[in-house]
Copies of this chain bind each other. A is one copy, B any other.
């Protein structure tokens, strides 16, 4: 098995964009970018001097295929790839690598960056974990080397562990970002901006460096400060969904406190 030097990307979303641009900068050759939407494929392909295609059957040979697609379609799309001899990975937190075995690939694995990517944000130098899995020791070593081009922090996780880690990441990142956004809406109603909360948000994030973060829980729920809770619910009167969420999280905090 030769060294990984050329890569074709299957997908052109946030993860594909962040990885492709970063690896291109690190002197990897990006052969081709596939997306079912040709324009999207072209936008990314242009940035990394690759070719674009919207026909998965035409995906160019390379030392590695990286599939960065919605979990739902990884199986269907990988089935359509002609050359099953090309080593392949997906970047999904939740899809088992079994999917490649079922589809007759010989060498396969997972390259899951445990980070949040947006097309706006460039992949920085931060030391986020990359969770690796491979069906072959030599291939694992090659993935490790590729991972090192992205982050110094890589580790092995099997498909089951990765699913748990991905769920934990959704709570700590996606749900948190949603809460920030509701928080921002409430501040905007009073003509304040979200940056007012940044020192608080930063300290809360810092607290999560330690273990047992629930011992650092503060606020009206854990204090059982019901007059404050009532006032908050009044502010949320017009926003039924937010009010329901506030109630549920308050109860959940109080229940966890009694565990």
Within 8 A of B (CB), among A130-172: 153, 160-161, 163-172
Closest to A117 in B: B218
CB of A208, distance to nearest CB on chain B (Å): 5
A171–B179 CB distance below 8 A? yes
Whether A102 sits at the interface, judged by CB under 8 Å, is: no
A228–B172 CB distance below 8 A? no
A245–B235 CB distance below 8 A? no
Whether A238 sits at the interface, judged by CB under 8 Å, is: no
A173–B201 CB distance below 8 A? yes
Other-chain residue from B170, B187, B209, B248 in contact with A248 (beta carbon distance below 8 A): B248
A249–B245 CB distance below 8 A? yes
CB of A46, distance to nearest CB on chain B (Å): 23
B116–A180 CB distance below 8 A? no
Interface hit among A1-9, A20-28, A50-58, A189-197: A189-197
A200–B167 CB distance below 8 A? no
CA–CA, A218 and B119, complex, Å: 11
A182–B174 CB distance below 8 A? no
A167–B213 CB distance below 8 A? no
Closest to A193 in B: B211
B218–A190 CB distance below 8 A? no
CA–CA, A217 and B221, complex, Å: 26
Q: Which residues in B have their C-beta under 8 angstroms from that of A235?
A: 163-164, 167
A219–B173 CB distance below 8 A? yes
CA–CA, A205 and B202, complex, Å: 6
Interface hit among A34-42, A59-67, A81-89, A120-128: A120-128
A167–B236 CB distance below 8 A? yes
B167–A194 CB distance below 8 A? no
Taking A118-B216, A181-B217 as given, write out 19 further A-B residue pairs in contact, using a Cβ cutoff of 8 Å, ordered by the A residue number.
A70-B225, A72-B225, A94-B231, A116-B203, A116-B216, A126-B202, A168-B186, A169-B183, A170-B232, A172-B197, A173-B200, A174-B221, A177-B213, A180-B213, A184-B211, A194-B209, A194-B210, A197-B208, A198-B208
Q: Enumerate 20 A-B pairs (CB-CB under 8 Å) in ascending A order.
A: A70-B223, A94-B232, A116-B200, A116-B204, A116-B207, A126-B199, A128-B200, A165-B187, A165-B190, A170-B232, A172-B179, A172-B204, A173-B204, A174-B221, A175-B249, A177-B214, A178-B214, A182-B256, A242-B252, A245-B252
